[in-house]
Amino acid sequence: MRRSSASKKSGQSNSTPNAADLFRSASSKASSKESERIDSLFYSYANGSTGLIDPEGIETLCADMEVDHTDVRVLMLAWKMKAEEQGYFTLDEWRRGLKALRADTVSKLKKALPDLEKEVRRPSNFTDFYSYAFQYCLTEEKQKSIDIESICELLTLVLGSTFPAQVNLFVEYLKAQNDYKVINMDQWMGFFRFCNEVASFSLLLLDCLYISYQEDGIFWLFFHSKVFSIVCSSQKNISVVTASNF
């Protein structure tokens, strides 16, 4: 009888959940509730007919976060979600982004934006974000290029605060020229590499007569502080000619 009693006590002890089990259970419940709140928040902005957050829903979300819908951080949020279609968020994309940001309310999402911007602007992430920005604006099937007007707006939004002088001059050139109607991905990424390559030259846009940069078949030339032309080239080289050694 004593052995039986001891066996019962032993059985009761084994069935009692330990601290790790309790923690996992609590974490699972908390995660489940967070997911429910994230989904609920999604449906508060989603179009009831399509089941997607559409441009109108995004504008409402931006208004609730007190952020302009043209703010670059909205594009950063789309990058975090890995959103595929411009102006639309699916439930899966929404879940991916908000779970990563640990945000299940509008207030938390708004508070997460400064840290998101810091994350995006890290060199290890910014190249991917810059590339994503172009791809996100390809709204038609099999589209591979973007019109000049849209490119000028996108450059200013994505790169303007990082390389203001280069972007302003390039945008000025693109608006004035008549040779290029669209910009493709190679040209888009080429300009980003150009900005990074010449950033170390303090003479850029100051005392230079011209600065040229060649890479991957694209030749960029700044002449008298103006973007002069883009022509074909097969070499990679940077040349700086200043008034002092001209």
Instruction: Yes or no: say if 93 and 81 are a contact pair by the CB < 8 Å rule.
Output: yes
CATH number of residue 98's parent domain: 1.10.238.10
* Of 120, 139, 163, the domain-final residue: 120
Indicate the average pLDDT of the chain: 79
Cross-strand partners of 182: 147
Q: What is the pLDDT of residue 239?
A: 43
Is the domain of 103 the same as that of 159?
no
Please give the pLDDT value at position 146: 97
**If pLDDT is split at 50, 70 and 90, which confidence band does 155 have?**
very high
Query: 51-55, 117-121, 211-215, 233-237: lowest mean pLDDT where?
Result: 233-237
Residue range 79-92: mean pLDDT, rounded: 97
Same-domain check for residues 155 and 94: no
